[in-house]
Amino acid sequence: MIPTLPKAAFFRRKRFLIAALIVVAGIGALIYVGVRGGSMYYMTLAELEAQGDTVYGDKIRLGATVVDGSIQSGGDGVTRFVVTDGTNTLRVSYGGSLPDTFRDGAGVVLQGKLTPSGTFEASSLLAKCPSKYKPGE
Amino acid sequence: MADIGYVALSMAFVLAAYAAVVSLIAVRSGQGDLWLSARNAVWAAVALTSVASAALVYALATRDFSLRYVAEYTSRDLSMPLTLSAWWAGQAGSLLLWSWLLAVFAGVVLIQNRRQNKELTPYTVAVIMAVLAFFLGIVIFAANPFEKLPATPADGLGLNPLLQNKGMLYHPPTLYLGYVGFTVPYAYAMAALMSGRLGNEWIYASRRWALFAWLFLGVGNLLGAQWAYTVLGWGGFWGWDPVENASLMPWLTGTAFLHSAMIQQRRGMLKVWNLALIIATFSLCLFGTAVTRGGILSSVHAFSTGPLGWALVGLIAAVLLVSLWLLWKRMPGLRSEHELDSFVSRESSFLFNNLILVGAAFAIFWGSIFPLLSDAVRGSSVTVEPSFYNQVTGPIFLAMIVLMGLCPLIGWRKASRENLVRNALIPVAMALAVAPLLYGQGVRSVAALLAFPSMAFVAAAGLQEFYRGVRARVRGHGDSLLWALPRLVWFNKPRYGGQIVHLGIILIAMGVASYFMYSTDASGVLAPGESLSVGRYELTLDGIEQRSTETRDIIAANLAVTRDGEPDGAIAPEKVLFRSQRSVMTNIGLRSGLREDLYVVLSSVGEDGRASIQAFVNPLVTWIWIGGGVMLAGTAIAFWPDRRERRVALHLPEMEFRALEASRA
């Protein structure tokens, strides 16, 4: 280390503070941009129903329960089923691979879009991972 | 047995509360006999929680289905290790495990401090016992593992098939060791604030605890990732789920603490920041417990809902309120002993590393609680996609990696330009050599061209440290080449242990980055004889095979593999039906290699006998697990006792200590 003349503490601090501010602002900007690009509405079925056709094409995340006996797997790899919150129902189509916990009566979290035909096109499907097994009735 | 367990828990609850109050009175009034009484209460709590834990384990082992907990989480056909692991499968058992670990940690703190930290220890013990009393209170009043069923069923409901895996045996307890472990550094921090002994004592006393908790949190996360990868069958290991985020956040702030604590030790700076960091880390551990066990955020693995989550939120609020109030009150005594000497110094690079780590934790926190925030502000719940976390944390982690390489190159206090240039020469050259190499291999993404050379930079900087150290030992001490490296590490364990951890982190970063940037997948519905190609592999369905065991029906798809056109064995992903529970589980076909993993999932088999197959090629994923092992080894080295600590214990500056050592030798 080569000794140099000490600068004023104030100046050192200022330089550091400016750099720190840049870092903080950078992280803030990243979060802001990220939220704008990557957020989606988390809705219940009732809320979705109330929105009507204003949400066609918007990214939506939906939590609901699979209606018993409604699961149909087509030969084209697309699974069709109906979800409910007890009062409202909605038809869903999903083309990806199904998690093991997906079955009649399972709680699912869907991500996707509502199409004008009234079918919810899910691009991702998560089934609740229960920490314990409750037998079907 | 069950009654014994419940009685033991109730007594432990009373004694924990007693120990908390009496330790405080003892240290305030200076009455040694009260402190003895408090210590005895701690030991009694250790014994009683151990008895309660033994009672639960006994009930599980003997399959005592008269207990609701045993009946709900186990069954007769469950193997014994998994039956015992049901201790942490449910809420009541997990909280008992939490409490027991915490009580044992309090005992260890007492043993460690028989002869030192006389002023700090009673406060530390009081804080730990207060937290213990809270958890035991929940166990007794809201989540009693010894609750009896009105009638004893013939068999239990059984463990969720997804949990019937060896990951269940070690992932949850590892994570709990981390979560619970951070209570101790927090308790020391509070002890410092309450006692007014605001120097470095609490930092020294809690360093090893922080390291211990940090290690288990990190390893627990990796084990969870590996479990998800090999069992859940969606091709990935990290989904930015709230539960995963919740265990990553305290690890990030804990990492920041381990680094900034070094600055306080060396330079007497950042005292307020260190206290704030450990308060944040402990609160995030509680938050993690609240998310996992209390279900306060919607998550695929939020295991339960109910009042527990809000009780924990209340505890977090109380912890923050009391801690920050104490911190505020002690502010005047927490002045830095030194100013930042220079903008380009080890201290300031550590500060930036801290800022970035905390920033990463904040970004993840923001994303996790965004649904709650937006619901409160705008009335509609908005969640963020996993892509949010990738976009936001990608650049932050990249900056972190670059700083990780820079830190060791920059000297303490004030680095001269020449020194820095000399230190950075080889690492920068390495980075500059890797970039065109990647470009030549056809890598065009800017992110990859920044990330991988940065990792090469850090790896080169770390290896250079070892090389220079070895060279100095060979020249200075006349060590043989063979012995120079182990001796180098042995004589400065914290420093070189830390460097080894850095190398492990780089391996993990390499695996994670290549997975997120270069994982490829393909899916298709195959009739026998048809093929699916993914990456350089081609999978051809030979046939579907069905077999049954006592409890399950198994369907396997036998696939022939060719790699680069050459036949390369076979792979057989399976679907398993648990007959008694009518539930299905996937057994993936996985071929791991150092270069890439071939990962094949059988999604379903149609009635026409066609198999729907999903296949992934994930590059370098194995290096994540290898990096985890390296990280574990490095932390173990840093954890090992070191001569420097003796110097610190003797309260001697480095020069005097060296003189003392020399006079003894």
Classify burial at B450, counting beta carbons within 10 Å of its beta carbon; exposed 0-12, middle 13-18, buried 19 or more.
middle
Cβ B106 vs Cβ B45: under 8 Å: yes
Cβ neighbourhood burial of B243 (10 Å; 0-12, 13-18, 19+): buried
| For residues B287-309, average pLDDT | 66
Percent of chain A topping pLDDT 90: 3
Residue B619 confidence (pLDDT): 93
At residue B637, what is the residue type? Answer: I
Q: Say what the pLDDT of residue A37 is.
A: 77
Q: Which residue has the higher pLDDT, B143 or A42?
A: B143
Looking at B268-345, list the stretches that DSSP marks H as alpha helix, in order from N- to C-terminal side: 271-294, 307-330
Q: Name the token pair of A64.
A: 């609901």
Q: Which residues contact B277 (CB under 8 A, 6 or more apart)?
A: B253, B256, B257, B260, B354, B358
The pair phi, psi for residue B170, each rounded to 5°, is -120, -20
Q: What percent of chain B has pLDDT over 90?
A: 55
pLDDT on residue A5? 40
Check residue A134 and give its pLDDT: 38
Show which of residues 27-86 on chain A sit within 8 Å of chain B, judged by CB atoms.
27, 30-31, 33-35, 37-43, 47, 59, 61, 63, 73, 75-77
Closest to B89 (Cβ–Cβ): which among A24, A42, A131? A131
Domain spans of chain A?
Answer: 9-39, 41-127
Tokens standing for residue B492? 């400065």
CATH number of B1-160: 1.20.120
The closest CB to that of B523, out of A26, A97, A133, belongs to A97
Q: Which residue has the higher pLDDT, B238 or B381?
A: B238
Backbone angles phi, psi at B238, to 5 degrees: -145, 120
Which chain A residue lies closest to B586 (C-alpha atoms)? A100
Radius of gyration from C-alpha coordinates of chain A: 25
Instruction: Report which DSSP code applies to A95.
Output: -
Give the angle B231-B509-B631 at the CA atoms, nearest 5°: 80
> How many CB atoms within 10 Å of residue B517?
16
CATH, domain range A41-127: 2.40.50.140
CB contact residues (below 8 A), chain B span 155-184, against chain A:
157-163
What pLDDT is recorded for position B656?
A: 66
Cβ neighbours, 10 Å, residue A18? 11
Strand partners, B604: B612
Q: Do β-strands B537-548 and B531-534 pair in parallel, antiparallel, or remain unpaired?
A: antiparallel
The letter for the amino acid at B514 is S
Confidence of residue A7 (pLDDT cuts 50, 70, 90): very low
Flag if A37 and B387 touch (Cβ within 8 Å): yes
| CB < 8 Å from A in window 52-81 of B | 72-73
CB B284 within 8 A of CB B213: no
Q: How many CB pairs under 8 A join A and B?
A: 176
Q: What is the mean pLDDT of residues B4-21?
A: 96
B17-21, B286-290, B407-411, B463-467: which is most confident: B17-21
Q: Measured between CA atoms, how close is A136 to chain B, in angstroms? A: 8
Length of chain A as a residue count: 137
Residue (of B541, B516, B518, B535) closest to B615 by Cα position: B535
ipTM of predicted assembly, 2 dp: 0.76
Q: Please, are residues B262 and B277 in contact by the beta-carbon 8 Å criterion?
A: no
Given pLDDT bands bounded at 50, 70 and 90, which one contains residue B297? low
User: Is residue B380 within 8 angstroms of chain A, CB to CB?
Assistant: yes
Is the CB of B303 less than 8 angstroms away from the CB of A130?
yes
| Digit-coded pLDDT (tens) for B571-627 | 999 988 877 666 778 889 999 999 999 999 998 887 788 888 999 999 999 999 999
CB contact under 8 A, A12 and B342: yes
H-only helix segments in B385-531: 386-406, 417-440, 446-476, 481-491, 493-518
Q: Which pLDDT value is given to residue A129?
A: 53
User: pLDDT tens, B119-132?
Assistant: 899 999 999 999 99
Local confidence band at B27 (pLDDT 50, 70, 90 cut-offs): very high
Phi and psi for B342 in degrees, rounded to 5?
-155, 155
CB–CB of B396 and A135 under 8 A? no
- Residues A34 and B653: their CA atoms lie apart, in Å, by 49
Q: What is the pLDDT of residue B377?
A: 78
- pLDDT tens digits for B514-565? 998 999 999 888 999 999 999 999 999 998 999 988 878 899 999 999 999 8
- Best CA proximity match to B135, nearest among B384, B308, B251: B308
- Reply yes or no on whether the pLDDT at A119 is more than 80: yes
pLDDT at residue A123 is higher than 90:
no
Q: pTM higher than 0.80 for the full model?
A: yes
What percent of chain A has pLDDT above 70? 82
The pLDDT of residue B163 is: 81
B303 reaches A (C-beta below 8 A): yes
Taking the CA of residue B474 as centre, how many other CA atoms within 13 Å lie in the half-sphere pointing to its CB? 12
Query: B662 pLDDT exceeds 70?
Result: no
Q: What is the mean pLDDT of residues B478-485?
A: 84
Judged against a pLDDT cut of 90, whether residue B192 lies above it is answered with yes
Residue A137 clears pLDDT 60, i.e. is over it:
no
CA distance B404 to B409: 9
What pLDDT is attached to residue A136?
31
Residue from B123, B254, B114 nearest B193 by CA: B123
Beta bridge partners of B567: B562
What pLDDT is stored for residue B303 in this prediction? 47
pLDDT, chain B, mean: 88
B268-294 pLDDT, tens digit per residue, is: 888 899 999 999 999 999 999 888 876
pLDDT beyond 70 at B648 = no
A5 touches chain B (CB under 8 A): no
- Beta-carbon count within 10 A of A20 CB: 14
Which of A35-49, B92-106, B337-351, B391-405 is most confident?
Answer: B92-106
Q: Does the pLDDT of residue A131 top 50, yes or no?
A: no
Closest residue of chain B to A26, computed from CA coordinates: B396
| Measured distance CA(B320)–CA(B329) in Å, rounded | 14
**Spans of all domains in chain B:** 1-160, 392-518+625-664, 520-622
According to the model, what pLDDT value does residue A116 have? 83
Alpha carbon dihedral B97, B98, B103, B105, in 10-degree steps, equals 110
Q: Which residue of A has its CA nearest to B525?
A: A77
Whole-number Å distance between alpha carbons of B54 and B310: 29
Q: Are B35 and B27 in contact (CB under 8 A)?
A: yes
Using CA atoms, how far residue A43 sits from A59, A61, A91, B371, in Å, is: 11, 6, 15, 10
A77 closest CB neighbour out of B162, B232, B525: B525
Which residues on neighbouring strands pair with residue B555, listed in sequence order?
Answer: B546, B575
Position B665 pLDDT exceeds 60: no
Q: Which residue has the higher pLDDT, B560 or A75?
A: B560
Task: Give mean pLDDT, residues B318-324.
Answer: 96
Most confident of A117-126, A128-137, B6-15: B6-15
CB contacts, 8 Å: B374 with chain A: 39
